[in-house]
């Protein structure tokens, strides 16, 4: 009878030994190369996302220069800013700001001034590290005009600018050499606006040029009052300078007081009484006006006594 072949029992630890057997060198090299390639691909993709503004970065507040551009918004409304502060305090920063990379590890603010201001206040108030960083997207505008356009468009969409603020940023962009002239600035910054709106912004530019720094409530200058002022300045060589001196001298403490001064400057001057047709001065303070219907005597010198004497004379038969 043939003997049956006996199977050798598996040795304890055999699988561990096989698992511990070193992989062939070529396999290790292939694995390492695959890992390095994957890391390089991820690194390259992160770099592209960062440069293309698709990667949100956490930047220290002190690393962001908010004066990189002349801001279009003159000042933040306290009520709106408080609402934003309360929102960030409760939910954190929901929308990143936009920045451009500068030298020395710093960043220039393009848009998001209100969010940056809110975080600064919260960090000062609480000292919390969570408010010491701002979420930001890196932008790479090709020209300074592109950066200004990005700032204006962001504010137009989110909050909207007053005509004074729109005209001011156009004027400042020209002064800094970003645009060749005012017309180019209006077209470059507000190209998507209607022609009528650009015309109104252009009308406000002389008002900004004359009164920026003298007005205490410039962002509250209404469209109607601003356009009236612009038109009046066109027809007067002295109005702008006279109004500026008045505003600086009076230093109005409220919006109502400031606009009252502007309205007063726009009021037409009273017509001199002596210029009325048919009026002639008899003596200082006493004038007579002769018409087909009769004679009119008037003036500061027509006292009650003089009036009584004239009536007595007229009543006396001749």
Q: What tens digit of pLDDT does each residue of 203-222 get?
A: 999 999 999 989 999 888 99
Are 175 and 125 in the same domain? no
- Are 93 and 57 in contact by the 8 Å Cβ rule? The answer is no
Whether 85 maps to a domain, the answer reads: yes
pLDDT digits (tens, 9 = 90+) for 176-201: 888 889 999 899 888 888 899 999 99
- Tell which of 111, 142, 173 closes a domain: 142
Residue 29 in any domain: the answer is no
Residue 157 pLDDT > 80: no
Q: Does residue 154 sit within a domain?
A: no
Asked, for residue 82, whether it belongs to a domain, the answer is yes
* Coil/strand/helix, residue 172: helix
List the one residue out of 167, 294, 303, 307 whose CA is nearest residue 223. 167
Mean pLDDT of 22-49: 59
Do 250 and 167 belong to one domain? yes
Q: Which domain holds residue 199?
A: 161-264
Q: How many residues are given for the chain?
A: 318
Q: What is the reported pLDDT for 15?
A: 43
- Please indicate, yes or no, whether residues 136 and 172 belong to a single structural domain of this protein: no
DSSP-derived secondary structure for 31-86: HHHHHHHHHHHHHHHHHHHHHTT-SEEEEEGGGEETTSS--S-----HHHHHHHHH
> What's the chain's average pLDDT?
80
Give residue 310's pLDDT.
Answer: 84
Q: Provide the pLDDT for residue 47.
A: 59
CATH number of residue 109's parent domain: 3.90.1530.10
User: Both tokens of residue 260?
Assistant: 């009252």
User: pLDDT confidence of 107, banded at 50, 70, 90?
Assistant: very high
Residues with Cβ within 8 Å of residue 279, at least 6 apart in sequence: 273, 287, 288, 289
Does some domain include residue 168?
yes
Q: Based on the domain organization, do 183 and 250 belong to the same domain?
A: yes
Are the C-beta atoms of 155 and 77 separated by less than 8 Å? no
- Rounded distance, CA 303 to CA 287, Å? 13
pLDDT surpasses 80 at 28 = no
**Are residues 246 and 181 part of one domain?**
yes
In tens, the pLDDT along 131-140 reads 999 999 888 8
Cβ partners under 8 Å of residue 282, min gap 6 = 288, 297
Q: What is the mean pLDDT of residues 65-84?
A: 72
Using CA atoms of 89, 90, 91, 94 in order, give the dihedral in degrees to the nearest 10. Answer: -40
Number of domains in the chain: 2
Clarify whether residues 200 and 232 are in a common domain: yes
Which of 95, 111, 142 is where one domain is finished?
A: 142
Q: Are residues 134 and 186 in the same domain?
A: no
Cα gap 244→266, rounded to integer Å: 13
φ, ψ of residue 19 to 5 degrees: the values are -65, -30
pLDDT band at residue 37 under the 50/70/90 scheme:
low
Statement to judge: residues 121 and 174 lie in one domain: no
Residue 262 in this model has a pLDDT that exceeds 90:
yes
* pLDDT: which is higher, 270 or 57: 57
**pTM for this prediction:** 0.55
| Of the candidate ranges 150-154, 237-241, 305-309, the one whose mean pLDDT is the lowest | 150-154
Give the model's pLDDT for residue 32. Answer: 63
Residue at a domain's end among 242, 264, 286: 264
Q: Each residue of 280-308: pLDDT tens digit?
A: 787 788 888 887 778 888 888 888 888 88
Q: Are 165 and 239 within one domain?
A: yes
């Amino acid at each position: 009878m043939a003997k049956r072949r006996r199977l050798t029992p598996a040795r304890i630890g055999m699988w561990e030994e096989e698992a511990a057997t070193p992989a062939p060198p070529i396999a290790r090299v292939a694995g390492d190369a695959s890992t390095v390639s994957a890391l390089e691909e991820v690194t390259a993709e992160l770099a592209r996302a960062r440069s293309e503004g698709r990667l949100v970065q956490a930047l220290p507040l002190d690393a962001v220069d908010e004066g990189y551009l002349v801001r279009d918004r003159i000042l933040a409304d306290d009520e709106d800013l408080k609402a934003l502060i309360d929102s960030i305090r409760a939910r954190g920063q929901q929308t990143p700001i936009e920045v451009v990379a500068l030298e020395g590890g710093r960043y220039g603010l393009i848009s998001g001034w209100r969010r940056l201001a809110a975080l600064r206040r919260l960090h000062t108030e609480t000292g919390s590290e969570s408010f010491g960083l701002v979420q930001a997207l890196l932008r790479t505008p090709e020209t300074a005009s592109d950066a200004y356009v990005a700032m204006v468009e962001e504010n137009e969409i989110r909050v909207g600018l007053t005509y004074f603020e729109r005209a001011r940023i156009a004027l400042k962009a020209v002064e800094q050499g970003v645009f060749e002239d005012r017309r180019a600035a209006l077209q470059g910054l507000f190209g998507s606006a209607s022609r009528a709106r650009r015309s109104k912004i252009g009308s406000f530019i002389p008002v900004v040029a004359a009164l920026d720094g003298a007005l205490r409530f410039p962002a509250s200058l209404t469209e109607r009052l601003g356009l009236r002022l612009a038109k009046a300045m066109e027809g007067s060589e002295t109005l702008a300078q006279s109004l500026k001196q008045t505003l600086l001298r009076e230093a109005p403490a409220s919006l109502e007081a400031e606009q009252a001064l502007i309205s007063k400057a726009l009021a037409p001057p009273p017509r001199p009484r002596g210029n009325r047709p048919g009026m002639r001065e008899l003596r200082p303070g006493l004038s007579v006006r002769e018409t087909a219907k009769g004679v009119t005597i008037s003036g500061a010198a027509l006292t009650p006594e003089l009036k009584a004497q004239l009536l007595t004379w007229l009543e006396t038969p001749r």
